[in-house]
Amino acid sequence: MEKYLITGFSGFVCRHFLDYLESTGIVSEVYGVDVNKPDFSYSGYKNIKCSFQTLDLLNRAKVEDVISKFKPDYILHLASYSSVAYSWQNPVASFANNTNIFLNLIETVRLLAIKCRILSVGSSEEYGNVSSASLPLRENQLLNPVSPYAVARVSQELLSKVYVDGFDSDIVLTRSFNHIGPGQKDIFVVASFAKKLIDIKRKKNSSNEFYTGDLTIIRDFVDVRDVVCAYYLLLKEGKKGETYNICSGKGISLFEVLEKMRTIVGVDIVQKLDARFVRPNENRIVIGANDKIRKDVKWVNRIDLDSSLHDIINYYNSLT
């Protein structure tokens, strides 16, 4: 039986990872930790024995207690303050938390001499602003983080390299591009579009005014259900110390995404710019190359953008 320790257990991605394990018939034991309790049931799986503990990963003693008792084969490190906008509003908390919880985790594994593989989840935000000549972004691209969140992710990646090279830690790294899907909170842009459009459809808004940030920016969106498949394959077959883009390889502007979603919902809107949603030093265009992960672990992103958008809208439409 495979044993997984999952940090950030209560978040959007973990639920889909559990669903992936269950749907593929992978018999496993999962121990989840998070500062927040999950708002979903984790007791009804047939193939997964699942436990949860409220835990702050900054508490080194408690991290050591969990790892020494559970002895995971794999650690999926999802815990973080994952909002770029939050990192601009709270740069100290964002950087300190995201860097130190990861360092606590990998140092505890090292000191306990636990033999397990760790997946260090990073972000396409690490690439920063790039020229069109650099696209699509490949793993050997020079990193140029332009937000506190991105700097913390680069620091996490550098720490991983130090531990792989210096201590022979078994760590595989990702740069995960913008992932979307049902269940994502509306602090993220595509989910926020869905919620606002559904509210307009239900006449919860007094007008059809739709406030957004800059819609000209281009992003590479990948469905979370494809992302968790990539995480599993990398835990099992990824090369130690290597970094992998997880992306669709296609770029689309936020304006086009909003138009697609507006058409699906069937409403007219009056789009207006709200300066509160415009980030300082925004990455203008982010499109990745996924050749490496396709070659090394035979990953394929199977869910197209239109299907993802329909599922996100259906999710928000199902909420009362």
Q: To 10 degrees, what angle do helices 224-237 and 12-23 make?
A: 70
Least confident of 153-157, 203-207, 228-232, 265-269: 203-207
Name, in order, each residue with C-beta under 8 angstroms of 25's C-beta and a sequence gap of 6 or more: 47
Phi and psi angles of residue 37, each rounded to the nearest 5 degrees, phi first: -75, 145
Please write the tens of the pLDDT for every residue from 64-117: 999 999 999 999 999 999 888 889 999 999 999 999 999 999 999 999 999 999
Angstrom distance (rounded) from CA 217 to CA 219: 7
Q: 278: pLDDT confidence band, cut at 50, 70 and 90?
A: confident
Q: To 10 degrees, what angle do helices 148-167 and 91-112 make?
A: 20
Strand 117-123 with 252-253, pairing: unpaired
Angstrom distance (rounded) from CA 35 to CA 48: 22
**What percent of the chain has a predicted confidence (pLDDT) above 90?**
90
- Cβ-in-10-Å burial (0-12, 13-18, 19+) of 13 comes to buried
Please write the tens of the pLDDT for every residue from 187-237: 899 999 999 999 999 987 667 889 999 999 999 999 999 999 999 999 999
Please write the tens of the pLDDT for every residue from 280-291: 777 789 999 999
174: three-class secondary structure by DSSP: strand
User: Given this model, what pLDDT does residue 320 score?
Assistant: 63
The residue-averaged pLDDT of 232-256 equals 98
Name, in order, each residue with C-beta under 8 angstroms of 89's C-beta and a sequence gap of 6 or more: none
User: Given this model, what pLDDT does residue 85 score?
Assistant: 84
Where do the H-state alpha helices sit in 75-128? 84-89, 91-112
73: three-class secondary structure by DSSP: coil
> In the chain, what are the domains?
2-181+222-247 (3.40.50.720)
Angstrom distance (rounded) from CA 194 to CA 198: 6
